[in-house]
Amino acid sequence: MIVDGWFIASLVVGLASTVICFGAAALKKGPNDVTILSVAAVELFLLVFLVASIVRQGGGEQIQGEPWEFWGYLITAVVIPIGGVWWSLLERSRWSNVVLGSVGLIAIVMMYRMNQIWFG
């Protein structure tokens, strides 16, 4: 499998967010600006990746796997952080930080799969 810069960047951003959120949960803290902003960083990364993917494909680079599968993963990945933040705003307990922490892990796994699909 080819490991590109996008996957490495998702690994850094996703793991940083996960460590911050799980750390806050371990300290029995509710969601706060730091945890929510860490998930916002994951969302921002995914939005930049979405635009870059459109540009890459528009520039002639082809997805080696099924395009519908790649775009389905990407749209789902973009929506998941929004759901996690919404959850954390509705339930202000430390368990919301566990949900927020899982967003980073989910983003990493989905980026790994999108990388597999893109490069075949």
Domains of the chain: 5-119 (1.20.120)
- Residue 105 pLDDT greater than 80, yes or no: yes
Q: What pLDDT score was predicted for residue 93?
A: 85
Q: What pLDDT score was predicted for residue 71?
A: 96
- Residue 56 pLDDT greater than 80, yes or no: yes
Can you list the pairs that 63-72 forms with residues at least 24 positions away whose Cβ atoms lie under 8 Å? 63/117, 63/118, 64/117, 64/118, 64/119, 64/120, 65/116, 65/117, 65/118, 65/120, 66/117, 69/117, 70/114, 70/117, 70/118
Would you say the pTM of this structure is higher than 0.85? yes
